[in-house]
Structure 1
Amino acid sequence: MERIGFGGGCHWCTEGVFQSLKGVARVDQGFIQSEAPSDSWAEGVIVDFDPAIISLAILAEVHLRTHSAKGGYSPAGRYRSAIYVLDAAQRPEAAEAIDRFAQTTGEPARTLVLPLLGFEPSEDRYRNYYRTDPDRPFCRRYIDPKLDFIRQHFADVALADVGNQAP
């Protein structure tokens, strides 16, 4: 297993996105910290994955295509578009994925590659947000469209159903 972090928009959405992928063994949502100037705590997830089933490049592409990787919206600085690496070997692959994304969209991505220095998990009541109740209005409005996109564009790595599965 390998481990990597992702930050984008709401960690409820990000958690649901990565839980929908084959080869992802665990997703922990919470708050991630990196080095200055990105040392404020921002929403994110830590993903444990099997690189024999899903590559870091695919995880990064899914991430870039399911949040606002090109925009600058961040209420109170709690959203940071980033791929948080845990070792130096992950950095080039993450950077290449961001470059490929920028080339295919024709716009620069604001997503950063940062070292993961700290993680604080969300409160228990927020963990596995989509899996515990996919019928919540928030899930229907914000997470379901991302999961539909994954099923359409990443069908080879998409799980058939994410909702109401054991965490």
Structure 2
Amino acid sequence: MSQKIALGGGCHWCTEAVYQSLKGVTKVEQGYVASVNDNNTFSEAVIVHFNVKEISLKTLIKVHLYTHKSTSSHSMRDKYRSAIYTFSEKQKEDVSIILEGFQNLFENKLIIKVLLFNTFKASREQIANYYYKNPNKPFCKTFINPKLKLVLNRFSKHADKAKLNHLIE
């Protein structure tokens, strides 16, 4: 059974690569997401389509919390909103409960927002699938590889090792 969730927190190139590297994720759309009311401006994010029989929403959220600065605010939070965008009220409730359960894993308070998804604007085709088109670029080596190594180490059961073979030492 396929579901989707939208996630924002850091650079969408990083977030896209993290989720493209997980078993059970069937598609990742990179771009910009907007919610409603105070969060109606676009912020870098991805829409993750996943097979719930292979990977749970809870696992996807846990990966998200560990692969971006989910406990710290900074001056770029408008561009890189720390958020989980849900596609229904039920999903929003489920995500809120999951986040409450994960708070005890972190010393500082989670700042991530749970917001209703409103609008998506896809990235230009030239920058879609950025990491897997450009794994040797300095940006990828500096910023994305450490996140993918974290996925390999902390979430190895869910990591698609065939895609991450170049990082396995």
Number of matched residues?
Answer: 164
Structure 2 counterpart of 1:102, one-letter code:
Q
Give runs of ≥4 in structure 1 deviating > 6 Å.
none
Paired amino acid for 2:107 = G
Counterparts of 1:1-167 in structure 2, within 5 Å, are 1-75=2-76, 77-162=78-163
TM-score by length of 2: 0.92
CA distance in 2 between partners of 1:64 and 1:96 (Å): 14
Gaps of 5+ in 2: 165-169
Q: Secondary structure at the match of 2:26?
A: strand
Q: Which stretch shows the higher mean deviation, 99-108 or 26-35?
A: 99-108
Deviation at 1:96, TM superposition (A): 2.3
In 1, Cα distance between equivalents of 2:53 and 2:136: 33
- Offset of residue 74 of structure 1: 4.2
CA contact (8 A) 1:57 1:93 kept: no
d(CA) in 1 for partners of 2:45, 2:75: 13
In 2, are the aligned partners of 1:85 and 1:116 still within 8 Å (CA)?
A: yes
Percentage identity across paired residues of the two chains: 37
Q: Distance in 1 between matches of 2:69 and 2:25?
A: 22
Unaligned runs of 5+ in 1: none
CA contact (8 A) 1:18 1:47 kept: yes
